[in-house]
């Protein structure tokens, strides 16, 4: 009961200040390196993220970002789309 009252109070404060809250939200879990995309509180997509070895940002993973080693079998480093 108390938690419901706190939520109503917080919602009123946000709406009263005129702060616009986005309809979508992305939550990244760094332990599992996965991200979830929410639209209006509903999960619409869950995907893997990876840390770029050049800019160190967490980005959506794509296999085309791997740089191969000399023998072309080892995946040495991974670059995001902006750094490639």
pLDDT digits (tens, 9 = 90+) for 11-34: 444 555 555 556 888 899 989 999
Give the chain's largest Cα–Cα span. 62
- R_g of the chain, CA atoms, integer Å: 19
Domain boundaries, the chain: 20-78
Query: How far apart, in whole angstroms, are the C-alpha atoms of residue 64 and residue 42?
Result: 29
Copy the structure tokens of residue 35: 């991200």
H/E run at residue 27:
strand 24-29
Would the pLDDT of 72 be above 60? Answer: yes
Confidence class of residue 36 from pLDDT cuts 50, 70 and 90?
A: very high
């Amino acid at each position: 009961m108390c938690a419901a009252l706190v939520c109503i109070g917080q919602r009123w404060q946000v709406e009263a200040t005129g702060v616009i809250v986005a309809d979508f939200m992305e939550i990244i879990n760094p332990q599992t390196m996965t991200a979830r995309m929410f639209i209006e509180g509903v999960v619409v997509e869950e995907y893997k993220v990876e840390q770029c070895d050049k800019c160190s940002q967490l980005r959506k993973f794509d296999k085309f970002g791997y740089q191969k080693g000399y023998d072309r079998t080892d995946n040495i480093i991974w670059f995001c789309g902006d750094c490639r």
